[in-house]
Structure 1
């Protein structure tokens, strides 16, 4: 019997009600995914406006057509920082808890999203790249923290549903960010506003996370006993209480299936992010069609 009174032979009943403490954590994880992938996708669209030689007559923002030859290296700089802390972040989340680490990482990513226009004006394209590298380093903690939170908060019976909803935020955040950024870039205030918007959303998420986020059900004082039992049943066994299991590094790095999955994942990510980062430029340079125009056409058809 665990300290929660969870019987290993008699599964606890699912708590009554449609909304509980676990759903609050689900919403926070979903919000983190949407805002993070929105911050990633903003520059992919904004770069078209940033390097454009043509601006509105009433524009209150600068453009930098001299950066055109540096476009691809600017777009790739996010991943320089992103790749650095993946394994390191997972170990910190596992051993020290997620709440503080997640808040710090998301704060860094959000602040340096807001600073992109300022650094670009003061330091040139190198300043934008510096912001994106730091932003990527902060977001390197995103998936490790989400994996840890899901393992702590998603009941066995609901784990697939929880994981599907949280990771759906990746696509949703990207799909929303691209047309929104295109529309903002066509306004008088222009592309800098999109960085302020998504950086600001990230800061709002951090404040909500600090107020309502918890590492585990045991840390949440407002969770009911029934819901805590429902979540924790099956996650730990009697002999595992209070024990920490070391990461089997040797087994991982000598596993052929691990390298097969790694190669497939690298290939999928390379193709996906190349397509995502280059699509706005392709539409503007090759198809001569901006995302803003697409939005206006769709709006006319819908009316």
Structure 2
């Protein structure tokens, strides 16, 4: 790691004059696009799979089950490329396994990514992960055409391996660049890339599938991610004191607000972390959030297609609306949380708890409501939009808790919580496939009741035992006992 006391090069000071925005905001914007790219590459398959598989025989299904909606006007016109159906005879269970397979790899690289980012900085861990994901996305069409479902499952696992380092690396970058007074704003901006990526992934995938060959969905998003890798490598650095062309005033400000980490800091205190009660409360909230979120990310386009029978173009638009609201809410809640903490309206702990509670109980209720709205498309889309909008407050709640609890080991904490939570990314999409063999409304209603239970129970645990204060293990000791006060 670079010496924090090393003077800034003269050429860097001269170059810094060409940047209008502070470097911490440039980093946050580029971090936003890191997650943006990660999510576009992750979710585009959820749209593409609706045109890859053989089109469902809705007439036959309607004779057996009345919970089948009439097609909208556009989907009754088979002139668009995406609405004619595909050639792959993958069952609902097989599709669930394909969508879940990404998270098998995603889980594996979380902890190694967090440990490496804590030790060496987040820049290269983030770039390498996104680049590998882009390469695997680029070859997805080849794997589908020549290898079918099994090859696609293997490739999605490899994509997950690449993308698993994203959140741990960004947590380390935020810990090194975001002052406590701006943490909610900068953190929500970066983490909001997931919602905008889901928006773009759904809308653009729908437009591409409607007018071009399905393969271009993967090519376009992969090339955008590769371009980001080049730009990020040139513009961003792991820490303010390693950045050659940061303005001296910003460098001094951040040095006061965020003391440089000790390059000889102790080994990660895993014993203290895993015996810390607030840590398990955080893990609980992450499991609940991921259960609901991964169902929506993986299956909302299929729900719109199979139940509401939107055309592929309409599907892309209406599947994206919930994420627009979620992104706006994540930014607003980040600003509100910062002001609440800054003006001592509420403690950091209680602020995080309120935001997390809203983000759990709100979506749980409105997802259930959407399942009872039947074939009323406007009402269903509205309820899903409200549900995902309220989920946006998670990013000013439990998602920032690792930075609150331990700035020194934020990457490791994010890796542990996000990694454990990602097990639900394997379980929930596959379980949905098993629970919805006929892809009808009654089966989906049960899926949302299960999500209601998981979101509610995990949120209660977080609200009782979570903490937004720095934990004793932050100093590297394997003890959860706070040092005695000086007398």
TM-score computed with the length of structure 1 as normaliser: 0.84
Shift of 1:24: 2.0
Q: How many matched pairs?
A: 282
Shift of 1:273: 0.8
Query: Within 2, Cα distance between the matches of 1:288 and 1:51?
Result: 15
Alpha-carbon distance change, 58 to 252 in structure 1, aligned in 2, over 3 angstroms? closer
Query: Within 2, Cα distance between the matches of 1:255 and 1:218?
Result: 32
1:280–1:290 Cα contact (<8 Å) kept? no
1:41–1:178 Cα contact (<8 Å) kept? yes
Specify which of 82, 85, 88 is matched with residue 106 of structure 2. 82
2:178–2:186 Cα contact (<8 Å) kept? yes
1:39–1:199 Cα contact (<8 Å) kept? yes
Query: Does 2:157 match 1:136?
Result: no
2:136–2:158 Cα contact (<8 Å) kept? yes
Query: Does 2:46 match 1:44?
Result: yes
Query: Does 2:190 match 1:166?
Result: yes
Shift of 1:126: 1.3
Query: Does 2:283 match 1:262?
Result: yes
Alpha-carbon distance change, 20 to 268 in structure 1, aligned in 2, over 3 angstroms? closer
Unaligned runs of 5+ in 2: 8-18, 57-77, 319-487
Alpha-carbon distance change, 53 to 257 in structure 1, aligned in 2, over 3 angstroms? same
Alpha-carbon distance change, 277 to 209 in structure 1, aligned in 2, over 3 angstroms? same
2:123–2:238 Cα contact (<8 Å) kept? yes
Specify which of 243, 253, 261 is matched with residue 230 of structure 1. 253
Query: Does 2:51 match 1:28?
Result: no
Unaligned runs of 5+ in 1: 6-16, 298-303
1:48–1:281 Cα contact (<8 Å) kept? yes
Query: Within 1, Cα distance between the matches of 2:37 and 2:282?
Result: 27
Specify which of 145, 153, 177 is matched with residue 177 of structure 2. 153
Query: Does 2:218 match 1:216?
Result: no
Specify which of 277, 292, 295 is matched with residue 274 of structure 1. 295
Aligned to 2:87: 64
Specify which of 203, 215, 232 is matched with residue 179 of structure 1. 203
2:52–2:88 Cα contact (<8 Å) kept? yes
Shift of 1:99: 2.4
Question: Comparing both chains, which one has the higher relative contact order based on Cα–Cα distances under 8 Å and sequence gaps of 6 or more?
Answer: 1
Alpha-carbon distance change, 287 to 262 in structure 1, aligned in 2, over 3 angstroms? same
Structure 2 residue matching 1:288: 3-state secondary structure? coil
Aligned to 1:92: 116
Query: Within 1, Cα distance between the matches of 2:169 and 2:242?
Result: 16
Alpha-carbon distance change, 158 to 293 in structure 1, aligned in 2, over 3 angstroms? closer
Query: Does 2:257 match 1:198?
Result: no
Specify which of 126, 134, 155 is matched with residue 150 of structure 2. 126
Query: Within 2, Cα distance between the matches of 1:227 and 1:159?
Result: 16
Alpha-carbon distance change, 50 to 56 in structure 1, aligned in 2, over 3 angstroms? farther
Measured on the aligned residues, the alpha-carbon RMSD in Å equals 2.7
2:106–2:163 Cα contact (<8 Å) kept? yes
Shift of 1:241: 4.8
Query: Within 2, Cα distance between the matches of 1:295 and 1:120?
Result: 22
Aligned to 1:283: 304
